[in-house]
Amino acid sequence: MSNANIHGIDHNNSNNGDNADVTRHYEYDLNSGESIYSKFSYKGDPLKQSVISFIKETLCPFFTFKSFSFVVIVINIVLYIVTLCVHGLDGFFMYFDFLPPHSTTLRQFGCLNGYLMRQNPAQFYRWITHNFLHAGFAHVFSNCFCILFFGTMLEYLIGTWRYILIYFLSGILGGLFSVLIKPGVSSVGASICCYGAIAAILGFDLVNWNHITTIYGTQNKCQILMIPIFAIIFILPLQFTPFGNSPVSLNERINIFGHLGGLIFGLLLSFFIIKPKEAGFSHKIYVIVGISCCGIFTLTGFLCFYLMNKYMGTII
């Protein structure tokens, strides 16, 4: 799921043999009284459940072909195939990645690079396009799998349009966070948005803390919080590697600053974009914190990026 540096709504489900049809509602309806997992669990004879149904229920119970998550996955895969065809594979980086598109192709198609965007402000589209490009087969596969698992879950919980806002805004703000720190590094990948989605699930749990047991069908609130926290704890350390005399240093092939930005702003955006099941004083605090932090960073971040000479360096 790494955001790699460039080499440097309603529908029915037949439940597979079960006669009971299940209606999916984007977004989750608290009044239904049914948890999100039990709602889509297989209710027929376990011996008759197909392998495909079992895999879907286990890995991506909220997936649907009509979801925005599926559209994003298709776009990612199609663009990856296209980038392989334009200038072919990058011979040098074939030693590091399987089927890596040429760096020139990724740059032409809109990778994230602070110097490029500063020297030509018309290339502002790079704030978005870099989220749909990938540097190798494993890169696009891991990101699409993350969208399939976490993205579909978040989309079901909060609704398609709120999910779209969080997905794109976390990608833009996470990218801004990245180029403010390392403006000359070119990077691509949907993982900034993926981290935003993971953090937004955590934000959903915090915003709806009083109803979390009803939503997930468990009495252990801490167990639910560990779903996104577990992913963050076990994924982020993989992006660090021992180097030289330093006990921990950044892996230069992973845009960890983009990932951290996606996590931070995915959480903050969820505070005021996600609609709580029950509004209260605590939610007002979340809204104030989320809007204030995102607003201040967006204003100061873009002003600094487009006005300070620091970000007018040499393109690499």
HSE-CB at 266 with a 13 A cutoff on CA atoms is 31
Q: Which residue has the tokens 């002003």?
A: 303
Here the tokens at position 272 are: 């005021």
pLDDT of 24 reads 43
Backbone Cα Rg of the chain: 21
Of the candidates 67, 87, 51, the residue with the CA atom closest to the CA atom of residue 153 = 67
Amino acid residing at 24: R
Q: Confirm whether pTM is higher than 0.85.
A: no
Stretches where the chain sits below pLDDT 70 are 1-27, 33, 91-96, 219-221, 223, 225-227, 230-253, 314-316
Q: What is the pLDDT of residue 196?
A: 94
Helix crossing, 191-207 with 281-307: angle to 10°?
A: 160
Return d(Cα 195, Cα 141) in angstroms, integer.
15
40 Cβ contact list (under 8 Å, min separation 6): 13, 22, 24, 57, 61, 62
**Per-residue confidence (pLDDT) for residue 19, from 0 to 100:** 36
Euclidean distance between CA atoms 293 and 78, whole angstroms: 35
Q: Which residue has the tokens 């608290």?
A: 30
Crossing angle (nearest 10°) for helices 160-181 and 256-273: 140
Q: Among 78, 227, 33, which residue's Cα sits nearest to residue 149?
A: 227
SS3 readout for 243-293: ECCEEEEECCCECHHHHHHHHHHHHHHHHHHCCCCCCCHHHHHHHHHHHHH
203-256 pLDDT, tens digit per residue, is 998 888 888 888 887 766 676 766 677 666 656 555 554 443 333 333 456 788
Are 187 and 6 a contacting pair, CB within 8 Å? yes
pLDDT of residue 48: 81
- Residue 210 and residue 207: Cα distance in Å, rounded? 8
For each of the domains in the chain, give its residue range(s) and CATH number, in order of start: 60-311 (1.20.1540.10)
48-73 pLDDT, tens digit per residue, is 888 888 888 888 888 889 899 999 99
